[in-house]
Amino acid sequence: MKTTIVDLESDRTRPGISTLAVHGGESRQKAGDAITDAIYCASTFTFENTDAVIRFIEEKQPREEYGRYGNPSERVVERKLAALDCGQEAVLFSSGMAAIVGLLMAKLNAGDEIIFFDECYHRSREFCSKHLSRFGVVTRQVPTNNYEAMESAINNRTKLLVSESPTNPHLSVVDLEQFVTIGQKHGVETLIDATIATPHNIQPLTAGVDYVLHSATKYQAGHNDLLAGVIVGSKEKLAPVRNLRGIMGAVNSPHNVYLLARGLKTFELRMQRHNETGQAVAEFLEANSRVERVLYPGLASHPNHEIANQTMRGFGGVVTFLIKDADWRATADVVDAVKLPRIGPSMGGVESLIEQPLIMSYYECTPEERETFGIPDNMIRIACGIENTDDLIADLEQALATTV
């Protein structure tokens, strides 16, 4: 069957996000004349004869050979994800961590150095400091949004600058223009983990960033029912990443790929609700007498509010707040008192999730380490789902009122 990809930009006008999420990367007419793409539960893809194998190799034909190197429905999702991020190419992985590990392993050699803003995901930092270091790669951390410190840390061995935007759980927003300028000035590639922002709220590639990373587990899949990660960028720069993925085998299952494609169909609709609810919850919490501080880039009180307004379409569903005059136990009481959000890690699903970072992610750290990471005992992070906003606010209100 001849594959004809839907041409969404023939009139030179970029389609809307929902149009891309529904139709991007797909064939106009699919196998079996179905409206949805098929699930290819195949580990091996066969050839008609020996000459067909030779043509595949010599002509680099766009078909599959073995499941570790690709899957037809996976290619559809990759094209869709690339389109949403304004990228040429996307490489899908089995998780967000597999995606960043794949990129770093493909790009770095012994003696190379990378620089992180220090609010990045703690498992990403852990992989670099504890595991890449065993192979002679040096990781340097500088204070988030301290661009002078980042530039001062660059030397002739520096190969990559890394940050999230917004960061987790502090929700700091990076000035992409400054970030890119530093990288280009010194010939160093740049990576932004935009998991919390999503392609709906931020477009790092259009600002000149080399690679954008998403844990597609979160908002892109949207239903708390799969793991996936993706790196988006140029075809040329991602070629070694795709090649290494085929060797490492960090691929996703056909069923997960189907679920991700299905989740993406409602991506913009879900993000609109996440953005609206996140803003409303943040405003409610900031006005509540039991709350010491709210970290949310949509609030004027956030230190990066101005740059967030310039670079983001919306501010997402994650809200971090601190309970006034509370120790870890009193803070945990608030978490335990909510009735709608479930207690758990992650974000971006239709169900709201709530957690105390001290307990969920940093329990085994020393108090000194938690202070270094900026994780106080009275911090709570809520990832708003798509429940009715008024119901979530009422639930938070009763939890704060009944645990005084």
Instruction: Answer yes or no: same fold for 17-264 and 267-402.
Output: no
Tell me what pLDDT residue 15 has: 92
Where along the chain do its domains lie?
17-264, 267-402
Q: What is the mean pLDDT of residues 60-85?
A: 95
Tell me what pLDDT residue 12 has: 61
Residue 24: CB atoms within 10 A of its CB come to 22
Q: Residue 328 carries which side chain, given as an amino acid letter? A: W
Q: What is the mean pLDDT of residues 136-159?
A: 97
Instruction: Report, at the CATH architecture level, how domain 17-264 is classified.
Output: 3-Layer(aba) Sandwich (3.40)
Tell me what pLDDT residue 5 has: 64
Q: For residue range 126-145, what is the model confidence (pLDDT) as tens digits?
A: 899 999 999 999 999 999 99
Residue 1: pLDDT band with limits 50, 70, 90: very low
Residue 9: pLDDT band with limits 50, 70, 90: low
∠ Cα 81 87 91 (to 5°): 55
Q: What is the mean pLDDT of residues 266-283?
A: 98
Residue 4: pLDDT band with limits 50, 70, 90: low
Per-residue CA distances from 71 to 6, 96, 324 (Å): 19, 19, 51
Tell me what pLDDT residue 42 has: 94
Q: What is the mean pLDDT of residues 19-35?
A: 92
User: Does the structural domain 267-402 have CATH classification 3.90.1150.10?
Assistant: yes
Q: What is the mean pLDDT of residues 391-401?
A: 98
Sign of CA dihedral 361, 364, 367, 372: negative
Whether 323 shows a pLDDT value over 60: the answer reads yes
Per-chain mean pLDDT for the chain:
95
- Cα–Cα nearest to 382, from 396, 365, 368: 396
Tell me what pLDDT residue 121 has: 87
Please tell me the least confidently modeled range out of 195-204, 228-237, 289-298, 356-365.
356-365
Whether 313 shows a pLDDT value over 50: the answer reads yes
pTM: 0.93
∠ Cα 234 235 236 (to 5°): 90
Q: What is the mean pLDDT of residues 96-122?
A: 95
